[in-house]
Structure 1
Amino acid sequence: MKNAIPIAILCLGGLGCADAPPGGDGEQPLLTSRQRIIGGAVDTTHAYVVGVGNRNRAYCSGTVISRRTVITAGHCHGALTRVFFGPTLGRRSESVRIETSRRHPAFDPATLQNDLTLIRLESDAPVQPAPLLRESMENTTWYVGPGYTFVGYGVSDGVAGTGFGMRRAVTFPIVAVGPAQVGGTPGTIDATQFYYQVPDMNTCAGDSGGPAFLVRGGVERHAGVTSFGDDPCTLDGVQARTDLDQIARFIQPTIDEFEADNPCRADGLCEAACDVGPEIVDPDCADLHCAQDGVCALACAFPADPDCALRAGVQVR
């Protein structure tokens, strides 16, 4: 990698950090990052996108993916104690304490491969979880070409270092799904990553751990975690993949351990009984899954969802 930086907080040596501008009611935003979503707009819709850090401030972004589980970047791991909620992160922001966190066992700090950390909260998150992309990404037009929505809390100007502390989102397509030769900052990406390069749009420091969402069936699904890119965030970036392989190998087993008593976790099984009125609690019930799509929807009866038979070891013909 050349001139690559993790998209986390930059408060090192001569770089310094911008002074936090006052928020509403005189609040000081908790983020002290220099940089963030570039070319994006203020976001008020992705409530499950959160700030991750210690008791004093957030320094990474993350996403609630189950009742008590948050996903963020592997390089954000260490000294994590709190998760913060809301479109603007100030000292009065709602927060939940972190009980424990687990970094991907194959995380490589040199290449940032497998750049994932899962966090267990002490209590339930006050927001609905984001559904996961339970399919395998490939270098096809099904994945390379559609717009992905990137969300995070960094600053909106990577050079001036202004605008941090507010959640922003930007949508653009990706260039390649790893493994691939891509040039740019990483040169190559491996099978745990995907790559993007769009003029005037990017993720940046403070966005680390934040999501990339891909729409499937009208529902946004968590496809990646912001990992690293060029400095000052004007060229390109790399995401850690969170699609089916990582779900099977790391994400789902960890959620199952963190939340063994939670039938409403994002486990590929739609439990409609978890829903409260019109509110969908089980993220696997976020849309109809009556076709063979990898999610068993028990509510589908006539005909039955073929995925339910597959889960029981029976092939439907």
Structure 2
Amino acid sequence: MRTISKLHLGFLLAGISASCLLPACSGAPVEGGEESVDSASQEIIGGVDARSNALDAIGSLGVALEAVNEETGAVEVQYRPFCSGTLIGKSTVLTAKHCVDAVRPMAAEGRVVFGVGFDGKHPDRTVDVAEIGRAPGDEGGFVGLGRDVGVVHLDEEITDIEPAAIDDLSDADIHTRFAAIGYGVQDNDDTSGTRKAGSVTLQAREGKVFELMFGSFEAFKQWFMTRDRSELLARLSAKAEAEGNEGEDACAEDSLDCILRMFYDGNVLLAGYEAFVGAGKGDAQTCYGDSGSPLVRMAGGKLRVHGVVSGGISTNQLACDYGTVYATLGPEVLAFAKKASTWSDPCGDTAIDGVCEGFTATRCTALDEGPRRVTKTDCSLLGQTCGQDETGAVACVDPGN
């Protein structure tokens, strides 16, 4: 299994690696190089198929696109997964905030859906996403979004799948193994879209991210220099200069060591809301497309989610490597998620296409029209009546048409 999404780390570390929340980000090319990968790290690139229907609370987030079959001329629907998520209420899916932030832009391309089943490209069924929510706290964090947790709400309740429970982590969980389950990239050939599961170890809930990954600044610098990261280095240099102009310690003459040291020291796990997971012997590795996928284990006979994939990095040999930063469910995020899990659709049974109520066109707003709500348009104010347009949607039309 390989989990992330190019979107998640791309915000901050474009050119290093990322979590690819964008559907266009199916994976990152792997370049050759001198970087060594020991036998222990080789072992983490594996997972197993997670086909069981008992895991169907964990599904894919994707875009449903209509395409014409060149051979038959028939219009077909193609599903393009971009993130993973977990059902935590009848109509609420827990995922990463950076996945949520891509939902409305992608709604302009096609229907954004939650896909149920083992194969995210050919889901057993889909439910349209109706609304989104973002956890409080937008400052800091590994991908620069603060507490990288969000939810999507569905326009239909799922009543035949038991939602997962949600819970925080504690220091007592450090060195405990959990399960990572997602739909992301599984190998260097960018194979993806099916649900994979692997075991991962919770390593730390605080500390410098790159120190946790590499063990030392020297090892981090060696990794940084094994590929052309000039664009990132230019951004880091500009940041160092800006901080120097604000009265903070600056790096003299663009010292490479100084700039990299600032980067190394400045990427710290968000206290109480992030954890470093994986990179242990026998651990799986999350990758592109696994953004928002859960860190889970069974407890009390129930599947429990303790965090979602937020970000990670690559090496020259592997698209995703060195473990994963998970956004965890600290107190404020847990409260947000619990409230979100009880979401009730403000539109009720009112559809986006709408209905006529006398002269009034009543409809529910679509995902790309802002917050979910019912709107009522009195067509008599225009000297018209309520009817349907050529697409079948409710509209104001001339009387007699």
1:122 to 155, 160, 173: 155
Q: Which moved more, 1:114-123 or 1:235-244?
A: 235-244
Mapped partners of 1:13, 1:209: distance in 2? 15
Contact 1:69/1:258, CA 8 A, preserved across alignment: no
Secondary structure, aligned partner of 1:6: coil
Contact 2:87/2:163, CA 8 A, preserved across alignment: yes
Task: Confirm whether residue 174 of structure 1 aligns to residue 202 of structure 2.
Answer: yes
The 5 Å alignment of 1:31-180 reads: 38-45=45-52, 46-56=55-65, 57-77=80-100, 78-79=102-103, 81-91=112-122, 93-108=124-139, 110-125=143-158, 126-133=160-167, 136-140=168-172, 143-157=173-187, 159-162=188-191, 164-177=192-205, 179-180=206-207
Q: Alpha carbons of 1:73 and 1:15: their partners in 2 closer, same or farther (altered >3 Å)?
A: same
Partner of 1:30: none
Mapped partners of 1:9, 1:170: distance in 2? 23
Task: Confirm whether residue 6 of structure 1 aligns to residue 38 of structure 2.
Answer: no
2:268 to 188, 197, 215: 188
Mapped partners of 1:132, 1:146: distance in 2? 17
Mapped partners of 2:122, 2:203: distance in 1? 38
Structure 2 unaligned regions, length at least 5: 1-11, 30-43, 66-79, 105-111, 214-263, 347-401
Opposite residue 139 of structure 1, the aligned amino acid is D
Structure 1 unaligned regions, length at least 5: 17-36, 261-317
**CA shift for structure 1 position 146:** 1.9
Opposite residue 75 of structure 1, the aligned amino acid is H
Opposite residue 171 of structure 1, the aligned amino acid is S
Question: CA deviation digits over 1:207-265, x for unaligned, max 9?
Answer: 001111033334331101011101221211111112554212x11223344479xxxxx
Secondary structure, aligned partner of 2:341: helix
Mapped partners of 1:13, 1:120: distance in 2? 24
Aligned residues: 235
1:234 to 317, 321, 339: 321
TM-score of the aligned structures, taking structure 2 as reference length: 0.53
Q: Alpha carbons of 1:222 and 1:15: their partners in 2 closer, same or farther (altered >3 Å)?
A: closer
- Structure whose residues are more often helix by fraction: 2
2:284 to 155, 179, 201: 201
Question: CA deviation digits over 1:278-310, x for unaligned, max 9?
Answer: xxxxxxxxxxxxxxxxxxxxxxxxxxxxxxxxx
TM-score of the aligned structures, taking structure 1 as reference length: 0.65
**CA shift for structure 1 position 124:** 1.1
**CA shift for structure 1 position 173:** 1.3
Q: Alpha carbons of 1:50 and 1:218: their partners in 2 closer, same or farther (altered >3 Å)?
A: same
Contact 2:18/2:312, CA 8 A, preserved across alignment: yes
**CA shift for structure 1 position 91:** 4.2
Mapped partners of 2:26, 2:294: distance in 1? 28
Secondary structure, aligned partner of 2:64: coil
Mapped partners of 2:86, 2:139: distance in 1? 22
Question: CA deviation digits over 1:178-233, x for unaligned, max 9?
Answer: x3334246842012111022256210011001111033334331101011101221
Q: Alpha carbons of 1:105 and 1:41: their partners in 2 closer, same or farther (altered >3 Å)?
A: same
**CA shift for structure 1 position 15:** 4.8
Opposite residue 337 of structure 2, the aligned amino acid is I
Q: Alpha carbons of 1:55 and 1:107: their partners in 2 closer, same or farther (altered >3 Å)?
A: farther
With a CA cutoff of 8 Å and minimum separation of 6, indicate the structure with the bigger relative contact order: 2
Mapped partners of 2:63, 2:125: distance in 1? 13
Contact 2:165/2:305, CA 8 A, preserved across alignment: yes
**CA shift for structure 1 position 96:** 0.3
Mapped partners of 1:43, 1:149: distance in 2? 11
Q: Alpha carbons of 1:259 and 1:171: their partners in 2 closer, same or farther (altered >3 Å)?
A: farther
Mapped partners of 2:307, 2:46: distance in 1? 19
Opposite residue 179 of structure 2, the aligned amino acid is T
Secondary structure, aligned partner of 2:148: coil
Mapped partners of 2:310, 2:300: distance in 1? 27
Mapped partners of 1:176, 1:236: distance in 2? 11
Mapped partners of 1:151, 1:83: distance in 2? 16
